[in-house]
Structure formats: structure tokens, C-alpha cells
Amino acid sequence: MIVALLAFLAQPAQSTPPPDGARLFRRCIACHALEPGANSPAGPTLHAIVGRAVAAEPNFRYSPALRTYAREYPRWSEAELDRFLADPWSVVPGTHMSFQGIGDPTERHTLIRWLNRPAARGD
């Protein structure tokens, strides 16, 4: 019994499960909605953001910096969202987005996967 207890105690501690996307999205909800066409003065909808054209949501006024960025990066791929969400201001200098970014890559990937789930894409 003591050997079993010592073997149990010697096991590495379980890591904390990655944060879930809905919880991470709370950081975004002050400016962004998930419903189609639900733009606000602060931010465009994030409905079907993965694969969507950059700076192209109708009825939203994008910064000149993001419109310029869209010429080189025309679609929001998962990789491009990851890069942007890590540090929006360094990726798009002059963006109007006031969010400082998500430094943790696991959190970014979790959020992007959650945004790309069928319900968020309208599937």
C-alpha cells in the first residue's frame, strides 16, 4: 500500500485543461458580437470570421490601416487570426482595435477554434 501511495505521489501533476473558447470570448464581447451583421461602432461581428475577407463586413467602418492590411492578407485564416490576436498593434499599426492581444498561444488557438466551430460559422 505504501508503494502504491509513493507511486501515485511521484506522478506528475495533471496540467490545467486549456481554457474554453466561450470564456475567452468574454474578452471580445464588449466590442464584438457573434450574430451575422451585428456590427457595433466598436467592432464588426465575428460571425464566420475564419475564412472571411479582411475589413469587408458591410456597414462597419474599418481603420485605413486594416483596409491596407487587407490588400496583403485578404482573408482571415486561422494562422492570420493567431498572428493578429497575439499583438494587433504590431501586426496592423494604426488599427482602431484597442485590445492589447492574447499572449498565450494556447488561449489564442482555443478561441480561434471556438470561433470556427459550426455554430459560429452558421453551419
Rounded Cα gap, residues 89 and 9, in angstroms: 45
Amino acid at 49: I
Would you say 107 and 19 are in contact if contact means Cβ atoms under 8 Å apart?
Answer: yes
What pLDDT does residue 17 have?
52
pLDDT of 18 > 80? The answer is no
What pLDDT does residue 25 have?
93
For 79-85, which contacts have Cβ atoms below 8 Å and span 24 or more sequence positions?
A: 80/54, 81/49, 81/50, 81/108, 81/112, 81/115, 82/108, 82/109, 82/112, 85/111, 85/112
Hey, what's the torsion of the CAs at 46, 52, 58, 62, to 10 degrees? 80
What pLDDT does residue 16 have?
57
Rounded Cα gap, residues 66 and 97, in angstroms: 10
What pLDDT does residue 3 have?
42
pLDDT tens-digit readout, 60-111 = 999 999 999 999 999 999 999 999 999 999 999 999 998 999 999 999 999 9
pLDDT tens-digit readout, 48-65 = 999 999 999 998 999 999
Rounded Cα gap, residues 68 and 45, in angstroms: 20
pLDDT band with cut points at 50, 70 and 90 for residue 117: confident
* Domains of the chain, first to last: 18-121 (1.10.760.10)
